Amino acid sequence: MPQTLRCRELVLDLGTPRIMGILNVTDDSFYDGGQHLAPDAALARARRMVEEGADILDIGGQSTRPGHVEIPEAEELARVLPVIRALAVEFPRLPLSIDTYRPAVAAAALAAGGHILNDVHGLQGPGGAGLARLAAEAGAAVVVMHHDPALRSIAADADPLPSVLAWLGRSLALAAAAGLPADRVVVDPGIGFGKTQAQNLVLLARLGELRALGRPVLLGVSRKSVIGHALPGLAAPADRLEPTLALTALAVRQGVPLHRVHDVLANRRAARMAAALPPAGADGGRFFNV
């Protein structure tokens, strides 16, 4: 499995857990929608996350929360491009990810200084071929996220892992066909996307099995509704920090190197503490250097 993530001219060492800070330049994201819609507010938030130790920033102008409304492509471009351009100048050694499934937005983001394309449809959506081609041509990295609503229709007591692995395998095949090498591709189990609550929990408990795909794993579970369903007293996303930190630590212990979060400093501390512990058993292995 690659121990580095290559994204254009930058190389990120995955021998230690890495934190991807979420920068929502949106008006309706489930946790912080509307807070960073203005470019100045978005840049201030980005600087704060960099100060807290973010290794990557993931910039999105189109919310993908349940029930989201698609905005025009021109509006998505107007939201994200000024932020990407400014960050590329201010932080030239910081990988910038663009959270989009639209090839035109991806192309403009790469031209503005982006390094990673984060596709919630895992290259299997209508724009997937274009995204893969753009990444290959630019030398960018891609995140392929599992998002298959058909998973909900399997038997309630069926193991979801084989379906998730097979679906992500198809995404990896599409990436390879476009010319993307293994050290430019990350897999994301898509917690909260097209899954039942039980399936989300099974995946969180068995993240280590995704390593069979031979790619680094990215976990995006920060403050999500899966936490509120498991802990009914935490209906509001604002109340879900501590469970998020618990899931980050557990994911690190399963060998997950990349963590997409809202709260950079707290999750960085949780991840590093989990990585500092020795292997749990004789057949365990240390995934990270600290």
Q: Which two tokens stand for residue 68?
A: 């989201």
Instruction: Decide if pLDDT at 19 tops 60.
Output: yes
- Distance of alpha carbon 135 from alpha carbon 149, whole angstroms: 26
Catalytic residue, chosen from 6, 45, 240, 260, is: 260
Structure tokens at 139: 């030398």
Mind listing the pLDDT tens digit for each residue in 45-104? Answer: 999 999 999 999 999 998 776 666 788 999 999 999 999 999 999 999 999 999 999 999
The helix (run of H) or strand (run of E) holding residue 96 is strand 96-99
pLDDT at 281 over 70: no
Distance CA 244, CA 108 (A): 33
Residue 99: closest CA among 79, 117, 86, 85: 117
CA separation for the pair 264, 103 (Å, rounded): 29
Which tokens hold the place of 155? 């038997």
> Closest Cα partner for 96 from 106, 79, 1?
106
- Catalytic position from the list 224, 240, 253, 268: 224
Q: 184 catalytic, yes or no? A: no
Active site residue 260: yes
What is the maximum span of the chain, computed from C-alpha positions, in angstroms? Answer: 55
154 has a pLDDT exceeding 70: yes
Q: How far apart are CA 121 and CA 171, in angstroms?
A: 9
Length of the chain measured in residues:
290
pLDDT in tens, 241-276: 999 999 999 999 999 999 999 999 999 999 999 999
Average model confidence (pLDDT) for the chain?
93
Asked whether 78 and 37 are in contact (CB, 8 A), the reply is: no
Please check the confidence at residue 277 and state whether its pLDDT lies above 90. Answer: yes
**Cα–Cα distance, 224 to 243 (Å, whole number):** 10
DSSP letter assigned to residue 217: B
Q: In the chain, what are the domain boundaries? A: 17-275
110, 123, 133, 107 alpha-carbon torsion, rounded to 10°: -20
Count of other CB atoms within 10 angstroms of residue 124: 18
Judge whether residue 203 has pLDDT over 70: yes
pLDDT at 26: 79
Distance between CA atoms of residues 136 and 178, nearest Å = 6
Class level of CATH domain 17-275: alpha beta
